[in-house]
């Protein structure tokens, strides 16, 4: 494999006695879009700020394009960044904001004007050149901030929760626009977010972070379908967790409440008598026995929520509650609370959490 | 409600009368120099006096130097404290308030003892040195106003994020202060500058004890020896101060608007 474009190696960051990032490692290929996903305080923004140069790592190093940039100042790194709070310069027009980095770099005026026009076209705001930031909406300001960040052709683009301050509709359209611009330019991008839907929808890979560490790094498909840890499984997507006891480790039999399910070859290392947490995504479960589903459990319907096109059903199995969605069918009334119900699933969809 | 409004107007009228009656009386008295008719003779005498022109010119120049010195010290200091040393803010605020509680006469006697012709830093041995010391003294007196004005201006912008946004775009500290921070707090700096100007123009104690030909000692001298001219001078000084305040108001309309504030 070729050398990674961005390499974060054994990076640690402590503030006094508190360690916020611990032995963080990540390699990012040229042109890749990687998201740091995690709850508040997990260290994702701190890692990003270390890549930007706003924080100095307590240990480890950061390499971009084969060059160690760990001790370089932010203005020497040729990195673009978009901030959550937009951070447009209030005293400058849109065109001056976008041209700021080019002017600092000493680019001739004509070239600056041409590049600013190109950026305004790219972010689809060509008519806004002479406006001031206070005359723009949040979404427009963030697009300008994106144009300003990429105008100097940075080696790396850092996005620090750029969509958090925007309303839901703008958030969706802008994230698609960000991804499309990133693909067009082929710029290596790190995107920090606490929103799993955002991360899953636009990333090539996701680093799920917790407690200052990367819990798992993988494609959205891997992260969602094959979570490596209990935290990742719980944090990404909706998950039903069932507590079970291994009854026969050799044949992969687990008892949930008083019922037995067979998890062929998934109990790696567990012994008979061990307690396990088993997880199932709602979309992997069907109400009633379905063809092609080799496992089932029986319980009692505890809640039914009619949501229009979808009906959300919760089924109690002993002390476990399983949530699943079924499509609304006008010919069939929704199930009633208190009814006995059988849920079926493929044993291969059941995750064993460690 | 109506009674409340009536009393509010009464209080307002009393306050206005307290403020305007002495002012009108001074204007009226300043115009009585020619017996039997109102005239601007007192103003003509004052404005035609070579000492007025010299002392006023001296004080204006001192004010300009004081403003420059104040801006050079206060803007980077207030900026750095907001950016990197927020824990020092209470201490710095306390220090900047000291000139309000330490009389100017104490400061100037301190200067005379510290910087006399026999000291290692003999500012007072030459006219230039004494002038420089006076400007430093004025900058100290204006510190509470200049610091507060600049700090208030800095509070209206996101100093840290704007700094980082400029840094990541390749800007160094000089560019950040001159092209990002200063333009966004310029109106606040100008407010501080005009307040400094007003203080310096009327300052008496320091200029007098350092024996400088400033406007304050001239005002005092005229007041002690003439009748109508001091009234005219008081009105002129008042007009200058009000002119400065009006300029602050006018200029504040041109302040860069925060992106979070609606138009």
Tens digit of pLDDT at every position of chain A (354 positions)? 568 999 999 999 999 889 999 999 999 999 999 999 999 889 999 999 999 999 999 999 999 999 999 999 999 999 999 999 889 999 999 999 999 999 999 999 999 999 999 999 999 899 999 999 999 999 999 999 999 999 999 999 999 999 988 888 888 888 999 999 999 999 999 999 999 899 999 999 999 999 999 999 999 999 988 888 888 888 888 888 888 888 888 888 888 888 888 887 667 677 888 888 888 888 889 988 888 888 889 999 999 998 888 899 999 998 888 999 888 888 888 889 999 999 999 888 888 876
Q: What's the confidence (pLDDT) of residue B223?
A: 82
CB–CB of B165 and A135 under 8 A? no
Domain with CATH 3.40.50.300 in chain A: 6-235
ipTM of the modeled complex: 0.82
Domains detected in chain B: 59-212 (1.10.3720.10)
* pTM for the full predicted model: 0.79
Closest Cβ–Cβ partner in A77, A90, A149 for B257: A90
Closest Cβ–Cβ partner in A75, A77, A141 for B259: A141
- In B, minimum Cα distance to A154 occurs at B169
Domain with CATH 2.40.50.140 in chain A: 240-353
Q: What's the confidence (pLDDT) of residue B263?
A: 32
- When pLDDT is cut at 50, 70 and 90, the band that residue B9 belongs to is very high
Q: What's the confidence (pLDDT) of residue A298?
A: 92
B163 shares contact with chain A (CB less than 8 Å):
no
CATH (one of 3.30.360.10, 3.20.20.150, 3.20.20.70, 2.40.50.140) for A240-353 = 2.40.50.140
Q: What's the confidence (pLDDT) of residue A1?
A: 52
Q: What's the confidence (pLDDT) of residue B257?
A: 61
Beta pairing class for A320-327 and A310-317? antiparallel
pLDDT of residue B37 exceeding 60, the answer is yes
- When pLDDT is cut at 50, 70 and 90, the band that residue B256 belongs to is low
B252 shares contact with chain A (CB less than 8 Å):
no
Chain A residues whose CB is inside 8 A of the B161 CB are 83, 85, 87
Model pLDDT for residues B52-75, shown as the tens digit of each residue: 889 999 999 999 999 999 999 999
Listed ranges A295-299, B237-241, B249-253; the one with the highest mean pLDDT: A295-299
Q: What's the confidence (pLDDT) of residue A332?
A: 84
Shortest Cα–Cα distance, B253 to chain A (Å): 13
The Cβ of residue A183 has, within 10 Å, a number of other Cβ atoms equal to: 14
Chain B residues whose CB is inside 8 A of the A91 CB are 180, 183-184, 256
- In A, minimum Cα distance to B254 occurs at A91
Beta pairing class for A188-193 and A33-37? parallel
Chain A residues whose CB is inside 8 A of the B169 CB are 75, 80, 100-101, 104, 148-149, 152
- In A, minimum Cα distance to B163 occurs at A87
Distance CA B182, CA B79 (A): 10
Q: What's the confidence (pLDDT) of residue A269?
A: 75
- When pLDDT is cut at 50, 70 and 90, the band that residue B237 belongs to is confident
**A57 touches A14 (CB < 8 A):** no
Q: What's the confidence (pLDDT) of residue B219?
A: 86
Q: What's the confidence (pLDDT) of residue A88?
A: 94
Q: What's the confidence (pLDDT) of residue B149?
A: 92
CATH topology of domain A6-235: Rossmann fold (3.40.50)
B150 Cβ neighbours under 8 A, 6+ residues apart: B74, B75, B78, B185, B188, B189, B192
Q: What's the confidence (pLDDT) of residue B255?
A: 63
Interface test with A, best of B158, B168, B182 (most A CBs within 10 A): B168
Mean pLDDT score across all residues of chain B: 89
Model pLDDT for residues B80-139, shown as the tens digit of each residue: 999 999 999 999 999 999 999 999 999 999 988 889 878 888 888 899 999 999 999 999
CB–CB of A134 and B258 under 8 A? yes
Shortest Cα–Cα distance, B186 to chain A (Å): 10
Shortest Cα–Cα distance, A198 to chain B (Å): 24
């Amino acid at each position: 494999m070729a050398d990674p474009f961005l390499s974060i190696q054994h990076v640690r960051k402590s503030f006094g006695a508190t360690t916020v990032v611990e032995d963080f490692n990540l390699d990012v290929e040229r042109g890749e879009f990687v998201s740091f996903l995690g709850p508040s305080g997990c260290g994702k923004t701190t890692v990003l700020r270390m890549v930007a140069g706003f924080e100095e790592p307590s240990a480890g190093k950061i390499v971009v394009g084969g060059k160690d940039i760990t001790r370089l100042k932010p203005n020497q790194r040729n990195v673009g960044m978009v901030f959550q709070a937009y951070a447009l310069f209030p005293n400058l027009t849109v065109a001056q904001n976008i041209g700021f980095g080019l002017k600092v770099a000493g680019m001739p005026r004509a070239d600056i004007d041409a590049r600013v026009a190109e950026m305004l076209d790219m972010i689809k705001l060509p008519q806004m050149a002479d406006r001031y930031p206070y005359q723009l909406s949040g979404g427009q300001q963030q697009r300008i901030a994106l144009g300003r960040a990429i105008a100097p052709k940075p080696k790396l683009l850092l996005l620090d929760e750029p969509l958090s301050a925007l309303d839901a509709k703008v958030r969706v359209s802008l994230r698609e626009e960000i991804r499309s611009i990133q693909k067009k330019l082929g710029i290596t991008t790190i995107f920090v977010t606490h929103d799993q839907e955002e991360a899953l929808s636009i990333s090539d890979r996701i680093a799920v972070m917790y407690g200052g560490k990367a819990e798992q790094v993988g494609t959205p498909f891997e992260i969602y379908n094959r979570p490596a840890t209990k935290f990742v499984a719980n944090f990404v997507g909706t998950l039903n967790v069932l507590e079970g006891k291994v009854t026969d480790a050799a044949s992969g039999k687990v008892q949930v409440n008083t019922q037995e399910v067979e998890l062929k070859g998934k109990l790696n290392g567990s012994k008979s008598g061990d307690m396990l947490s088993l997880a199932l995504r709602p979309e992997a479960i069907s109400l009633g026995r379905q063809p092609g589903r080799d496992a089932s459990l029986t319980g009692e319907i505890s809640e039914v929520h009619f949501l229009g096109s979808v009906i959300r059903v919760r089924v109690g199995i002993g002390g476990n509650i399983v949530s699943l969605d079924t499509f609304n069918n006008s010919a069939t009334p929704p199930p009633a609370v208190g009814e006995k119900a059988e849920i079926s699933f493929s044993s291969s969809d059941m995750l064993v959490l460690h | 409600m109506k009674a409340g409004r009536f009393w509010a107007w009464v209080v307002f009228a009393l306050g206005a009368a307290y403020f305007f009656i002495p002012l009108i009386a001074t204007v009226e008295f300043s115009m009585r120099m020619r017996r039997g008719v109102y005239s601007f003779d007192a103003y003509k005498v004052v404005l035609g006096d070579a000492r007025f022109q010299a002392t006023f010119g001296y004080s204006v120049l001192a004010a300009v130097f004081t403003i420059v010195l104040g801006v050079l010290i206060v803007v980077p200091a207030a900026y750095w404290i907001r950016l990197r040393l927020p824990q020092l803010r209470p201490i710095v605020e306390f220090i900047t308030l000291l000139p309000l509680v330490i009389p100017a006469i104490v400061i100037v006697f301190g200067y005379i003892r510290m910087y006399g012709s026999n000291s290692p830093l003999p500012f007072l041995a030459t006219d230039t040195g004494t002038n420089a010391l006076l400007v430093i003294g004025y900058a100290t007196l204006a510190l509470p106003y200049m610091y507060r004005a600049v700090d208030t201006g800095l509070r209206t912008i996101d100093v840290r994020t704007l700094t980082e946004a400029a840094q990541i775009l390749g800007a160094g500290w000089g560019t950040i202060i001159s092209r990002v921070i200063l333009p966004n707090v310029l109106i606040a700096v100008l407010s501080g500058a005009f307040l400094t100007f007003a203080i310096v123009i009327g300052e008496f104690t320091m200029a007098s004890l350092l024996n400088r030909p400033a406007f304050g000692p001239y005002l005092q001298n005229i007041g002690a020896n003439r009748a109508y001219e001091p009234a005219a001078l008081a009105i002129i000084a008042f007009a200058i101060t009000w002119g400065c305040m009006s300029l602050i108001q006018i200029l504040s309309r041109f302040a860069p608007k925060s992106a979070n504030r609606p138009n």
